[in-house]
Amino acid sequence: VYGLGLTWGSMDLFHWFGDTDTSQFRVLSSGNPPYFLPERASEGERVPGVVLEYDLPRAFDPIAVFDRMAVALSHLAATLGGRPVTATG
């Protein structure tokens, strides 16, 4: 996730800011709790899945943010061996 240019921070989530000072999209765990602790990941802790989300009204350029999120999704699916699904499967 770091390699995609996301930073870990607010709410213990990974955020992509792009060229802004506002989080444009986030990556969180689909489990409970929904946050990540990087030190746990380095110890091998796994999560049941990841969720990519963004707030359309806050996006500086919604299409560009969505496109960047799609790149992140593709990379994460390939790296983690998963497949993208909607909230309903």
What pLDDT score was predicted for residue 17? Answer: 93
pTM: 0.85
Is the pLDDT score of 60 beyond 90? no
Burial class of 36 by CB neighbour count within 10 A (0 to 12, 13 to 18, 19+): buried
pLDDT mean across residues, the chain:
90
Q: Residue 13 pLDDT > 90, yes or no? A: yes
Written as six digits, the tokens of 54 are: 């963004």
* Residue 15 to residue 51: CA distance in whole angstroms: 12
| pLDDT over 70 percentage in the chain | 100
> Is pLDDT of 56 > 90?
no
Rounded CA separation 86/42 (Å): 28
Inform me whether the pLDDT recorded for 53 exceeds 90.
yes
